[in-house]
Amino acid sequence: MSTVQFTFDGVTYHGNKGEPLSAALLRNGIKVVTESSYRYRPRGVIGLGYEEPCALVQIDSGSGEPMVPATRIELVDGLVVRSLAGVGDLPNQIDKARYDKTFKHVDVLVIGAGLSGLKAAQKAANSGKSVIILDDQFQPGGYVSDLNEKIDSKLINSLKKNNVTHLQRTTAIGLYDQNYVVAIERRTDHLSSEILPEMSRMRTWHIRAKEIILATGAFQRVLVFPNNDRPGIMLSHAAATYLHKYRVGTFKTGVVVTVDDFGYQDAIRIHKSGVKVQAIVDIRKKVTGKLLDQVRKLGIEVILGATIVDSTADQSGSLNSVLVAETNLNGQITGTRREIKTDLLAVSGGWTPTVHLATYLNLKPIWDKKVAAFVMPKLPKNIKATGFANGEFDKVTNPPALFFGIIPEGEDAKVSFIDLQRDANVRDLRRAVGAGLTSVEHIKRYTTIGTAHDQGKTSGTTTMGLLGQLIKKEPHEVGTLTFRPPYIGVPFSALAGRDLGILSDPIRTTPIHSSHLLAKAPMEDVGQWKRPWYFPIEKENMHDSVLRECKAAREDVAVMDASTLGKIDIQGPDAGIFLDRIYTNMFSSLKVGSSRYGLMCGVDGMVFDDGVTTRIAEDRFLMTTTTGGAAKVLDWLEEWLQTEWPELNVYCTSVTEHWSTVAIVGPKSRNLLAKLAPNLDVSNEAFPFMENRYAEVAGIPARIARISFSGELAYEINIEAWYGLHIWQEVMKKGREFNIAAYGTETMHVLRAEKGFVIVGQETDGTQTPQDLGMDWIVSKKKDFIGKRSFSRTDTAREGRHQLVGLLPLDNKTLLPEGSYIVNEGDSKNEGKLSHIGYVTSSYSSSALSRTFALAMIADGRNRIGKFVEVPIGNSVARVKIVDSVFFDKENTRRDG
């Protein structure tokens, strides 16, 4: 074993490489590790593993980590830690360490590599099964290894020979349905205090096992009495292990207080380490057997029928003496107090099997009076438990007492701690009971017991026991605490693995994206797509930029990257019939080479998506969808084809990324197209609205569609995706003489809103019929389609539904916030009694109208056109006129240029 240097609270110390930090602190005489979270009492090391409620530190070396129990840190050279009082600091530098994850299917997963777990793994491997065994400690062996006894090397070797995956420093943090376990492996912290670039610091294991064996061991419990939290008071198994196995020295004399035979074993170990054990204080009145003889032979006084009823401290706050008194099992002190000077009190308050993983499956642990503990619930047939975890404490000769401590009143109650991490005491428990609470789940919320990082590992059962004592019930009658994953604190970075930053979610960009970046266009997220929001020139703000872009579209020509629109290739002889059923309007009658706008509804008759669909050939359509709705629509089409209409011969394929689409919009778009495609007859007669033509555009074969989402003369140039950037650049170059401007999503929204065109997801939220949107014209009366029957339902056919209308604020500069609610005229003054007749869905400043305007959904809106309403904005009120939803070019005179 080599000596290493570490720093605690700025002071350098030495310790043995690989031992727990808690052992090194004790050896260096550091009994007071920290102050408690709320009452600022000195606290020291209590336990040995993840159950440690007090000795928490912040790691500052390497990746850094807040709130780690000192018991679980393996000492390495250069480790830097500091004490913390219950609250850690998130490291403020970016963690440069790597994290990864792996997925495994296995026949048998053994959780816990103590003796029972190792034997279970060996048995499974010998029968030819694939096995993973994982364990959260530094070395295998669990309890036996703590006793400093050697594990049979044949056992470990046979696992190796059978190709068993054996993982130490790996904690199962969750157990889920169908034997699915998530575990965290700590791979580098024990090798170096620095970040190792070549190796992932932690690995998340996702394991599915045909069979799981829980060999998770058990936790020792604390006992409750006044001043039971002083440094120097430890769990007896931990104290004995630190002294006997790790040889920490630290203490001069010891007293053991116990409810079971384990206290005697630990007393012997402590004594053997050279610390004089003065007395074993046992609550049980009668004890027999070899252990008793052994301790008597060592000269240890055994005080039966008694327990510790108080303690005193030295100047540092550490234990100075304990007070012993005869006490009954109800916690009533019946004898006189006797003081014993000691700096160590080892507490053996009974063992609680570690049932956490099993309870994650919503199974309730069972109270077993024989071992005085909650034991494993009835497990499903493919999960088994073994060893301590299964309540098999085989070395017991005298049964443990059912005793959790004394329950003092008054000032003493304030210093009798139940949950050391939360600083929750007997007074808190008494107050909860006094408030009428009798369920441990309620007590937990009222007192915070069992909610801190240790999750009540040492205090859960104690709470139930004391509560039962207070309200005269058995521990199991007060209910059981619900444990929830993760079993230990887990860094988010371990769960994220490599899915960080740019890899956390896919980013979709069009082939023209690089040009948008050069133009310094701010981006808007539309689903996973990045779309240019607007194209500022020099220091323009969004408002000015959008007004200029709109003006260009209405007076000259403007260009937009429309490549993100969802595109679905629909092929097959029945494609036309299929679309007739999907869309509210007819598509089987559409001529080859023509396009039509379509609206689709759910079975409830509510608008679901829209877009323009083009008939490419007799048996082939190209559907476009909203940018955000593409995946949803493809799912929808396939669902109907597969589950309702398998007789239709139709195939659907997503082709969104196959095509780049460049929309040129405005009165001069025809002139621009003529320049781009010299061989195409662009006249209105030769190339009418809603038709498609194939031609070379800037030397590239293209399909040009004459469709418009702005009311202007407009064309959409569709080319194979990788020519997108070339066409965009050519359009910008040839458009210069027509004062072309690029525009983004904001201008697109303004232009369409001026024309009263809805955007699915902006005007709609899944509760609007086509009729609500004033789109009766698109609903076929001749055929059935999805949602049609719903239009005659009482609720959809009724008068007074919210309908799409336009709004004009009387002050033509007032921009109504989108989402504002709309009230009747004069209602804004009626505090608390507002009529809520509708809401604003879209709101913009318009260059064409030289004013602001909005779209809204208003109850019985179309009958209210011409009326005035009010829109509260903060503390002021905007007076607004309801108008038709089409603001600009109502007669559609601009469409043909």
Partner 1 sequence: MLLINCPWCGPRDETEFHYGSEAHIGYPEKPEELTDKQWAEYIFYRNNPKGWFAERWVHNVGCRRWFNIWRNTVNHEFGPSYKPFTKQPSRPK
- The distance of closest approach from Cβ of residue 601 to partner 1 in the complex, given in angstroms and rounded to an integer, is 12
Interstrand relation of 345-348 and 253-258 (parallel, antiparallel or unpaired): parallel
Question: Whose Cβ is closer to partner 1: residue 653's or residue 729's?
Answer: 653
Question: Whose Cβ is closer to partner 1: residue 177's or residue 505's?
Answer: 177
- The distance of closest approach from Cβ of residue 361 to partner 1 in the complex, given in angstroms and rounded to an integer, is 8
Question: Whose Cβ is closer to partner 1: residue 206's or residue 675's?
Answer: 206
- The distance of closest approach from Cβ of residue 794 to partner 1 in the complex, given in angstroms and rounded to an integer, is 6
| Distance of alpha carbon 653 from alpha carbon 568, whole angstroms | 6
- The distance of closest approach from Cβ of residue 631 to partner 1 in the complex, given in angstroms and rounded to an integer, is 9
- The distance of closest approach from Cβ of residue 340 to partner 1 in the complex, given in angstroms and rounded to an integer, is 54
- The distance of closest approach from Cβ of residue 795 to partner 1 in the complex, given in angstroms and rounded to an integer, is 9
- The distance of closest approach from Cβ of residue 788 to partner 1 in the complex, given in angstroms and rounded to an integer, is 7
Interstrand relation of 202-214 and 319-326 (parallel, antiparallel or unpaired): unpaired
Question: Whose Cβ is closer to partner 1: residue 388's or residue 636's?
Answer: 636
| Distance of alpha carbon 646 from alpha carbon 652, whole angstroms | 13
Question: Whose Cβ is closer to partner 1: residue 321's or residue 649's?
Answer: 649
Q: How is residue 409 written in tokens?
A: 């009143």
Question: Whose Cβ is closer to partner 1: residue 161's or residue 793's?
Answer: 793
Interstrand relation of 253-258 and 276-282 (parallel, antiparallel or unpaired): parallel
- The distance of closest approach from Cβ of residue 200 to partner 1 in the complex, given in angstroms and rounded to an integer, is 22
Question: Whose Cβ is closer to partner 1: residue 105's or residue 341's?
Answer: 105
Strand ranges, E, within 453-552:
523-526, 529-532
Question: Whose Cβ is closer to partner 1: residue 315's or residue 794's?
Answer: 794
- The distance of closest approach from Cβ of residue 596 to partner 1 in the complex, given in angstroms and rounded to an integer, is 24
Question: Whose Cβ is closer to partner 1: residue 336's or residue 643's?
Answer: 643
Question: Whose Cβ is closer to partner 1: residue 365's or residue 456's?
Answer: 365
Answer whether 457's CB lies under 8 Å from 51's CB.
Answer: yes
- The distance of closest approach from Cβ of residue 131 to partner 1 in the complex, given in angstroms and rounded to an integer, is 19
- The distance of closest approach from Cβ of residue 569 to partner 1 in the complex, given in angstroms and rounded to an integer, is 15
Question: Whose Cβ is closer to partner 1: residue 792's or residue 893's?
Answer: 792
Question: Whose Cβ is closer to partner 1: residue 642's or residue 850's?
Answer: 642
Please report, to the nearest 10 degrees, the dihedral formed by the alpha carbons of residues 555, 556, 559, 562 taken in order.
Answer: 40
Answer whether 801's CB lies under 8 Å from 772's CB.
Answer: yes
Interstrand relation of 821-824 and 838-846 (parallel, antiparallel or unpaired): antiparallel
Amino acid residing at 138: F
**Per-residue b or e along 193-202, where b marks 16 or more CB atoms closer than 10 Å to that residue's CB:** bebeeeebbb
**Nearest-5° Cα angle at 23, 21 to 24:** 65
**Per-residue b or e along 71-93, where b marks 16 or more CB atoms closer than 10 Å to that residue's CB:** bbbbbbeebbbebbebebeebee
| Distance of alpha carbon 345 from alpha carbon 358, whole angstroms | 33
| Distance of alpha carbon 723 from alpha carbon 744, whole angstroms | 20
Q: What is the DSSP code string of 224-284?
A: B-TTTTSTTEEEHHHHHHHHHTS-----SEEEEEESSTHHHHHHHHHHHTTPEEEEEEES-
* Residue reference for tokens 């080859």: 592
Q: Considering only CA atoms, which of 665, 667, 660 is closest in space to residue 741?
A: 665
Question: Whose Cβ is closer to partner 1: residue 643's or residue 850's?
Answer: 643
- The distance of closest approach from Cβ of residue 785 to partner 1 in the complex, given in angstroms and rounded to an integer, is 10
Question: Whose Cβ is closer to partner 1: residue 174's or residue 774's?
Answer: 174
**Nearest-5° Cα angle at 298, 296 to 300:** 60
| Distance of alpha carbon 711 from alpha carbon 751, whole angstroms | 8
Question: Whose Cβ is closer to partner 1: residue 729's or residue 767's?
Answer: 767
289: left (phi over 0), alpha (psi -120 to 50) or beta: left
DSSP state at residue 105:
E
Question: Whose Cβ is closer to partner 1: residue 637's or residue 750's?
Answer: 637
- The distance of closest approach from Cβ of residue 138 to partner 1 in the complex, given in angstroms and rounded to an integer, is 30
- The distance of closest approach from Cβ of residue 447 to partner 1 in the complex, given in angstroms and rounded to an integer, is 33
- The distance of closest approach from Cβ of residue 616 to partner 1 in the complex, given in angstroms and rounded to an integer, is 23
- The distance of closest approach from Cβ of residue 208 to partner 1 in the complex, given in angstroms and rounded to an integer, is 6
- The distance of closest approach from Cβ of residue 645 to partner 1 in the complex, given in angstroms and rounded to an integer, is 9
| Direct distance between the N- and C-terminal alpha carbons of the chain, in angstroms, rounded to an integer | 88
Answer whether 407's CB lies under 8 Å from 332's CB.
Answer: no
Answer whether 602's CB lies under 8 Å from 608's CB.
Answer: yes
Binding site residues, partner 1, CB under 8 A: 176-178, 180, 206, 208, 380, 603-604, 635, 638-639, 642-644, 646, 784, 788-790, 792-794
**Per-residue b or e along 435-453, where b marks 16 or more CB atoms closer than 10 Å to that residue's CB:** eebbebeebbebbbbbbbb
Backbone angles phi, psi at 770, to 5 degrees: -55, -35
Question: Whose Cβ is closer to partner 1: residue 199's or residue 490's?
Answer: 490
| Distance of alpha carbon 202 from alpha carbon 184, whole angstroms | 7
- In angstroms, the Cα distances linking 51 to 19, 238, 345, 426, 638 are 17, 11, 18, 20, 52
Answer whether 151's CB lies under 8 Å from 115's CB.
Answer: yes
> Is 496 in a helix, a strand, or coil?
helix
> Is 115 in a helix, a strand, or coil?
helix
Question: Whose Cβ is closer to partner 1: residue 464's or residue 786's?
Answer: 786
Which uninterrupted H or E stretch holds 68? Answer: strand 65-69
- Sequence-distant (6+) residues with CB within 8 A of 452 are 37, 53, 86, 419, 421, 422
- The distance of closest approach from Cβ of residue 206 to partner 1 in the complex, given in angstroms and rounded to an integer, is 8
Answer whether 818's CB lies under 8 Å from 771's CB.
Answer: no
Strand ranges, E, within 676-834:
692-697, 700-705, 714-720, 741-742, 802-809, 821-824
Q: Considering only CA atoms, which of 18, 90, 81, 17 is closest in space to residue 55?
A: 81
